[in-house]
Structure 1
Amino acid sequence: MTDHDEAAAVRPLTLAWVSRHLEAGERIVRTDVLYGGITAEMRRLTIGTREGGTRDLVLRTFVDPFYVERAEDWLSREAGALTLLAGTGVPAPGLVAVDPTAAHCEYPSLLMTHLAGRPVIDDAGVETRVPLLARQLVGIHALRPAERPREYVTLTTADTVVVPKGVHAAAWAAAIDVIRKPAPHYEGRFLHRDFQPGNVLFDVPPSSPAGARITGVVDWAATSWGPADLDVAHCSTNLALLHGAGWGQRFAEAYEEAGGVLAGAASERLYWRVRDALACSEEVQLVARSWREAGRTELTARVVEERLDAYVTALMDALG
């Protein structure tokens, strides 16, 4: 058995659980590891149908002890979000089954439908994808569910920010002072809460990158209710680290061009963007590793730290 086969193999109890949620006469004929995630193991399961065809499902499994402790909340929220999103026009997976407490599986797990497309995090074509990302996020924020998800949570504080070595110290000190202040008042919106290029699937025609289209939005485990600025800030930070500080700033403009509404005051917008950028300082190693696994091998932790420094500095410079 190859290393890939071992990594792709579904554990026995989980395999039995998945099988109970298949149609009569169906069976798993292949499993493949999906790379690029941070919190969970992801596998694509190819299901053989009794008519002789195949269809795909995706299995999310929380294995790391840190994430297992949080899995019941996250998977329950994701299951609720996928149920809510069905029929809304937002291209999200369909829920098949969930075992948030590992009552049936070795580890907490969620089974969902597979969406066509793939995350695209390369520099090439970013100018085409940014407006598409912005329009999709505006559509998510337009949802008005009958039952709101829980209020957003931010764990980063001014005292927990990890300041990388060699940064522009004055800019970082000023940025940290920004988040010492109380959060601005906001009008609540339905948030994805981890909307960024790694969680958006694209179909990109090889002969026409400009013809890219979004085929899905995945990873709804952090769905929340809060300010649109927070989702915009998170995607902006990720774009800045993937493609350079200018793209982080460009995304907010694209969001407004697509009809999205952000905080009215510049200081309020700055608060959310700085808060998200500083939160990323605590996860640079994990973020950089996931992007390298997804093919951006040049994005070492140090390179990502340097881009984060450039972005934080640009945000503070824009304040004047």
Structure 2
Amino acid sequence: MVTNHDEAAAVRPLTLAWVSRHLEAGERIVGTQALHGGITAEMRRLTIGRRDGGTRDLVLRSFVNVEHAEDRLHREAGALTLLTETGVPAPGLVAVDPTAAYCEYPSLLMTHLAGRTVLDDEGLETHVPLLARQLVAIHAVRPAVRPRKYVALTTAETVVIPKGVDVAVWTAAIDVIRKPAPPYEGRFLHRDFQPGNVLFDVPPSRPAGARITGVVDWAAASWGPTDLDVAHCSTTLALLHGPAWDLRFAEAYEDAGGVPAATASERLYWRVRSGLAFSEEVRLVSQPWREAGRTELTTRAVEERLDAYVTALMDALV
């Protein structure tokens, strides 16, 4: 009998059969639990009963009515396979069904990593350097076959200007991304590297001894400028914890040996692009933050932080 921790954890029959075919001899699924915090995929932890009476955990990732699911799962499977040969703590690939040939929806099965996401303000002084060092390690990966080039989906036409802001400031910011992207030397990118996709082990008795145990969600892995990843994480930190952490992360990345764009204006280009990209998905990104306990981060509150962030970037450009 499979035990579901809640109704949302139930695995659909075809997917259940597919997972079972990829277990070791004598193993079976004995429990499922919904994992919350994701935006694009249904995530479930599967408890697997072993022949010796013990258990192990796997994670099932299913894309339900998600655009480009096949491409995203191909990229994630490729990234997870690549990363097994590196020191980057990513899940191990067990199986993938990118076209839903066997499952109800495009799905990926991977190993479960210990740890938890940390989205509150406590411990930032310790966590930000760890995040920076981890991102430097990701950018140091040299794949034999490059993943596809990054895609910047945000355009001048797709930016959503929040209500009540200085439209002139936002218009100037939009004009920045009308310009061609600065030249760059390509690197392996995560493309959604931010605290919500990083797992920590934080000893209760010694928070300063925190360490990163995993980096998840590799569905957008790409080849492109390191500043894309740095700016994305910087913007996320600014919205979660305040604008000072934008620069703190960028500085920590350089201190850890990361190589950003050569000039301040080039680095600002990527930060402006990242800030404007968040304008299209404030509601989407803030919901899992509230579910994780940051209840004060309403959609409106995050919009106000984003406006302050974009304004500060434009002040820096003057």
TM-score of the superposed pair, with normalisation by structure 2 = 0.97
User: Whole-Å Cα distance in 1 between the matches of residues 231 and 52 of structure 2?
Assistant: 47
Distance apart, 1:112 and its partner CA: 0.1
Match 1:225 to one of 208, 213, 223 = 223
User: Whole-Å Cα distance in 2 between the matches of residues 138 and 295 of structure 1?
Assistant: 29
The question of whether the paired residues in 1 share the 8 Å contact of 2:186 and 2:225 is answered with: yes
User: Whole-Å Cα distance in 2 between the matches of residues 110 and 39 of structure 1?
Assistant: 13
User: Whole-Å Cα distance in 1 between the matches of residues 246 and 57 of structure 2?
Assistant: 34
Letter in 1 for 2:205: S
User: Whole-Å Cα distance in 2 between the matches of residues 159 and 22 of structure 1?
Assistant: 47
User: Whole-Å Cα distance in 2 between the matches of residues 85 and 258 of structure 1?
Assistant: 20
For residues 172-191 of structure 1, what are the structure 2 equivalents within 5 Å? 172-191=170-189
Give yes or no for the alignment of 1:78 onto 2:76.
yes
Structure 2 residue aligned with 1:6: 7
For residues 126-137 of structure 1, what are the structure 2 equivalents within 5 Å? 126-137=124-135
Please list the CA deviations of residues 40-81 of structure 1 after superposition, one character each: whole Å capped at 9, or x if unmatched.
Answer: 000011111110111000000011x2x1x3110000010000
Please list the CA deviations of residues 164-205 of structure 1 after superposition, one character each: whole Å capped at 9, or x if unmatched.
Answer: 011233321221111110011100000000000000000001
SS in 2 for 1:148: coil
Structure 1 residue aligned with 2:308: 310
Give yes or no for the alignment of 1:234 onto 2:218.
no
For residues 169-318 of structure 1, what are the structure 2 equivalents within 5 Å? 169-318=167-316
Please list the CA deviations of residues 134-169 of structure 1 after superposition, one character each: whole Å capped at 9, or x if unmatched.
Answer: 000000001111100000001111121001011233
Structure 2 residue aligned with 1:42: 43
User: Whole-Å Cα distance in 2 between the matches of residues 3 and 9 of structure 1?
Assistant: 6
User: Whole-Å Cα distance in 1 between the matches of residues 119 and 146 of structure 2?
Assistant: 31
SS in 2 for 1:264: coil
User: Whole-Å Cα distance in 1 between the matches of residues 15 and 140 of structure 2?
Assistant: 36
Distance apart, 1:4 and its partner CA: 5.4
Letter in 1 for 2:278: C
User: Whole-Å Cα distance in 2 between the matches of residues 42 and 54 of structure 1?
Assistant: 19
Structure 2 residue aligned with 1:121: 119
The question of whether the paired residues in 1 share the 8 Å contact of 2:14 and 2:102 is answered with: yes
User: Whole-Å Cα distance in 2 between the matches of residues 247 and 310 of structure 1?
Assistant: 13
User: Whole-Å Cα distance in 2 between the matches of residues 140 and 272 of structure 1?
Assistant: 19
Distance apart, 1:258 and its partner CA: 0.6
Deviating more after overlay: 84-93 vs 3-12:
3-12
SS in 1 for 2:32: strand
Distance apart, 1:87 and its partner CA: 2.2
Structure 1 runs (4+) deviating above 3 angstroms are none
Match 1:151 to one of 149, 152, 156 = 149
Identity %: 83
Distance apart, 1:29 and its partner CA: 1.2
Instruction: Say what the alpha-carbon RMSD is for the aligned residues.
Output: 1.4
Give yes or no for the alignment of 1:32 onto 2:30.
no
TM-score of the superposed pair, with normalisation by structure 1 = 0.97
Letter in 2 for 1:121: L
Structure 1 residue aligned with 2:91: 93
Distance apart, 1:280 and its partner CA: 0.6
For structure 1, the residue ranges without an aligned partner over 5 or more in a row are: none
User: How many pairs align?
Assistant: 317
For residues 156-171 of structure 1, what are the structure 2 equivalents within 5 Å? 156-171=154-169
Letter in 1 for 2:215: V
SS in 2 for 1:317: helix
SS in 2 for 1:216: strand
User: Whole-Å Cα distance in 1 between the matches of residues 165 and 57 of structure 2?
Assistant: 45
